[in-house]
């Protein structure tokens, strides 16, 4: 194993409380588009001449639901057409080995749950794509895949209003329960924080690394590009999570076997 990865694996072994923060870069290796950055599908403007932050906003869902759903459907189709990759799976296995290892994800694809990350240590801060629900009458609809093949936007079969996914669109508030879980755990502190495949442009994504750095914890970034938290990282790996985490896991597993 490379010396830097070996030192990082040793730090993970020694740590009790670990937070892994994941962004679109992790799921990009499953074939999903990122909003921006390397190979971003929506750099600049969409086909409709507006930034993706406008197209996928709560205001657009209200004013022009067909346009908003055009891009929600692209994301939904991509998520349904791919699977968790070795990075997701290695993170889930690491959580199985470390009972105080948490995942904070910006991703809405649900791949951490599919890979086996325990829901009681998974914070999906931007929500998820399913099930769809009606704000007007509260009806839920589990048929995301089927709905994407029908005319958009999908309408509630009970009252005819536009359905939406339980995801945080641009301009909307984060889910209260997820925010409360995050800050409850941040209050307990983390010995080691890893940022994976995220630009960390939101304060609540960068904050855990800032807190860990101030308290003397270990900070790590796994990202192909420099980000707003790169200078905070004790370990910086310009590699894909798909490659890094399985290698780390193999060393940690071997250490546990030899104990």
Q: Which residues contact 217 (CB under 8 A, 6 or more apart)?
A: 189, 190, 191, 192, 193, 211
Put residue 39 in one of left, alpha, beta given phi > 0 → left and psi -120 to 50 → alpha.
left
Our measurement of the distance from residue 131's CA atom to the centroid of its chain's CA atoms, rounded to an integer in Å, reads 18
Q: Which residues contact 177 (CB under 8 A, 6 or more apart)?
A: none
- Our answer to whether residue 126 is catalytic in this structure is yes
Q: Which residues contact 183 (CB under 8 A, 6 or more apart)?
A: none
SS3 258: helix
Tokens coding 185: 């755990």
Which of these is catalytic: 45, 88, 112, 126?
126
DSSP secondary structure letter of residue 133: E
Omega of the bond leading into 153 within 30 degrees of 0 (cis):
yes
* 237 DSSP β-pair partners: 222
The residues carrying an active-site annotation are 126
């Amino acid at each position: 194993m490379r010396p830097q990865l070996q030192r990082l694996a040793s730090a993970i072994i020694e740590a009790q409380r670990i937070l892994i923060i994941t962004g679109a870069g992790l799921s990009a290796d499953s074939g999903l588009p990122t909003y921006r950055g390397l190979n971003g599908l929506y750099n600049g403007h969409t086909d409709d001449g507006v930034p993706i932050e406008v197209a996928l906003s709560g205001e657009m869902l209200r004013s022009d639901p067909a346009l908003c759903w055009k891009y929600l459907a692209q994301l939904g189709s991509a998520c349904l057409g791919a699977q968790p990759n070795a990075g997701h799976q290695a993170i889930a296995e690491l959580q199985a080995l470390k009972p105080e290892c948490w995942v904070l994800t910006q991703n809405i694809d649900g791949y951490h749950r599919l890979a086996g990350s325990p829901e009681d240590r998974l914070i999906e801060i931007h929500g998820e794509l399913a099930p769809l629900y009606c704000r007007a009458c509260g009806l839920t609809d589990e048929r995301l895949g089927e709905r994407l093949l029908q005319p958009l936007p999908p309408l509630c079969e009970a009252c005819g209003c536009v359905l939406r996914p339980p995801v945080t669109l641009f301009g909307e508030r984060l889910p209260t329960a997820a925010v409360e879980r995050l800050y409850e755990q941040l209050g307990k502190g983390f010995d080691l924080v890893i940022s994976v495949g995220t630009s960390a442009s939101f304060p609540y994504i960068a904050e855990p690394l800032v807190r860990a750095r101030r308290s003397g914890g270990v900070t790590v970034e796994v990202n192909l590009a420099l980000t707003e938290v790169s200078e905070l990282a004790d370990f910086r790996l310009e590699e894909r999570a798909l490659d890094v985490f399985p290698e780390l896991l193999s060393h940690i597993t071997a250490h546990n076997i030899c104990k």
